[in-house]
A and B are shown apart, each in its own frame.
Chain A
Amino acid sequence: MVATAVRNNIRTLRFEHGEMTQQVLAEQVGVTRQTIVAIEKEKYSPSLEVAFRIAAVFGEPLDAVFSYEPDAR
């Protein structure tokens, strides 16, 4: 799939949170692990609600986790 214009730091944040697994993050966010994989690889843009939930898991504001870079597609 064409990469989305939404960039993220999920991999880094998982590392900084004790090497949190994708499965644990998925369970805390309330999505499947495959969706976390797709978001992390920037092949799927999450809904705003899921994006907020991911940021909340890491205790970060939304723009510390996600950024919008349309030219980087």
Chain B
Amino acid sequence: MNSSKYFQEWFSNPRRDIIAGTVVALALIPEAIAFSIIAGVDPKVGLYASFCIAVVIAFVGGRAGMISAATGAMAVLLVSLVRDHGLEYLLPATILTGILQIGAGALKLGNLMRFVSRSVVTGFVNALAIIIFMAQLPQFHDQGLLMYGMVAAGLAIIYGLPLLTTAVPSPLVCIIVLTGVSMSMGLDQTLNTVGDMGELPSTLPVFLLPDVPLNLTTLGIIFPYAISLAIVGLLESLMTSTIVDDFTDTSSNKNRECTGQGIANIVSGFFGGMAGCAMIGQSVINVQSGGRGRLSTFAAGIILLILIVLMGGLVSQIPMAALVAVMIMVSIGTFSWSSIKNLRIHHRTSSIVMLVTVLTTVFTHNLAYGVGAGVLLSAVFFAYKVSGQLDITSDIEVSKKARTYTVRGQLFFVSATSFADAFDFREVLEKVTIDVSAAHFWDLSSINALDRVVLKFRREGTEVEISGMNEASKTLVLEVAKYDKPGADDALGGH
């Protein structure tokens, strides 16, 4: 990218970007705290991560105006790592994630996104919304009816206020009101507050080296997590960048985004933060608030840190009920509600792919598995559909001694069986011509199927002629086919 375009991505509209960045920063605070709690670490880990990632990605990301920070998708992957091995292993895992993502950017793996179908993307965001929602449920445990009442009041403010005015962030008002109520009525004795969940940052993040032995045992522990984190982080980032591309009618550099996410995670890891990625919800809020440039992302990170360092004491007083209300809003806003309506409208294979992606994710708590299952299933469905593109017709000569089979369509491992079944070997013929000029042989299975058909005819004493093999198929045939080589008949073995 040339320097003037990069400059433009920063400063095309500073005022608008800074306002949007402020709105995003205010929305990021509850999310970063909530995601830290999901991962089982102190809120400061998520807040430091959000600051580092947002600021770094503003410089090195491939998509201007997209917000990256600590996310729910990454947090759920970290739960067992933190529980079983502790925070010390979270930081090197984050750094390794970054290294893997830089590698993915260098290898241009961003291009692989094309294999992730629309249905899988929908499944991904739905699964993400469900995971965020489910992660809020433990907060209701042992808190009594008061908690439900507070959350309901919070949601009423969040959804009610925008009907009156869109000039102030309603989640912020929700947090301020509920915190005020909780403090003035002494509810913080019975209800959990953010302060109960762990340490908040009181200083700027400091550079520190991970306190783990640098050996293969450590690598063995963190590597599986880093792989999942890298994949999920890149998937969500690339999906989000596509969404922002659509919003703003501009293009982004996907491979640069991969590398950028990697650099951001490495920095986050060295400053005591957890792994993160682009956030669908926050990016939507940013665009909705008018944010388009890199400055909006940068401002979000900086303002987040300023707010949290200056007002740490107040932040610890925020009741968890307010946080839960905000996170329920995030999950509702992330979920693709139209996809439920579309279940009946879209073809059922698309719906199955979407549902499998969701269910796999919800059961494994790993979006990488969900997407893997979805991509695999879409590929199988696609192969099955294409295998239907095979049409075999035949004409017999007047003498009834020769027949011509005409093959049209795609021949590959899925369609090989139906190809073989289309020939009638009981018929007594002197000569068979198989016209494949309108067919395409894709793989060994299809060549093998043709071989078997030819050999079977030959064993019945029928002459076989293949006609119209196009050049591409012909090379494939010459390389692997057996029927025209000596000893071909033996190859059928006991058949």
Do A and B share a complex? no
